Structure 1
Amino acid sequence: MDWIALKILLVYTKKSFMEESGNEPENASVICALLPLSACVTLAPRQAATVTMMNNGVCIRVPAQSGERLDWLEIMRSDQPSSAILHYDVTHPVWVFPMQCLPTSDFRFVAGKSYAVLVTTVVNEKEARQYEARFETGKGAR
């Protein structure tokens, strides 16, 4: 996925992720704006991520299948307008394994705060998956 496709994907997913309408996402979304047809990315409906506390840290897990590569992870704190977007470079791939904690690049979670997380993995050149979760950290979170 090239940089332009990623920017369009980020705009599309952030807009839909932050909507408070409560509507379920469409069965599938195709992102093709400003890109040739060969560069379209198909997104299946979002799946649930699992967030638990482990060793006083936040552990984000997704039910990925073998061969999925972590593309980016967005962490949003409910009381802040901005978010942290962690990109994972294709030249140094991070492979996702079912129910293994995802790397958060030492992101500092604040105890007692509410968060939303959006994870995107790449299956192949034309297919990506998204996972999401909302959670509140407990005491001692990092």
Structure 2
Amino acid sequence: MPDEESTSRTAVKTYVPAYQKDAWQSHADELGMSQSEFVRTMVQAGRRHFSEDETVAATRTPQPKPTDGSQTGEGGLADRVRGQLSSAGALTWDELVAALTDDIETRLEDTLDELQEENAIKYSGREGGYTLVEP
């Protein structure tokens, strides 16, 4: 059992664009969550994709082995669907698609910006899109 010090609460502060905060608040409202609860839940869900800490591993319900070839391992689509449904209850097809792909445009834009800053890619109107920068 965790000791009192390890379960005490502390604030975490971050800065995001206003449109992103608004989107998070809207999504939190749809799920009946506070914004803090929403961000905390999404961060924990995202962390599972990268590595599983002892607390998550100890509380995780073992999933049956796939028999149909579907991806159910750590960070797999089946796990992500289960996570969305466990926090939201019932979701329509469109709501599930939105929840699972919610941040892809922002992530892509951020990645493209980073790659352009590193001079690894460039946007070329002449070539009709992004291209690799030749060394």
* Range of TM-score over shorter length: under 0.3
Q: Does 1 or 2 have the higher relative contact order (CA < 8 Å, sep 6+)?
A: 1
Q: Which has the higher helix share?
A: 2
Between Structure 1 and Structure 2, whose CA radius of gyration is higher?
2
Q: Which has the higher strand share?
A: 1
Q: TM-score with structure 1 length normalisation?
A: 0.25
Q: TM-score with structure 2 length normalisation?
A: 0.26
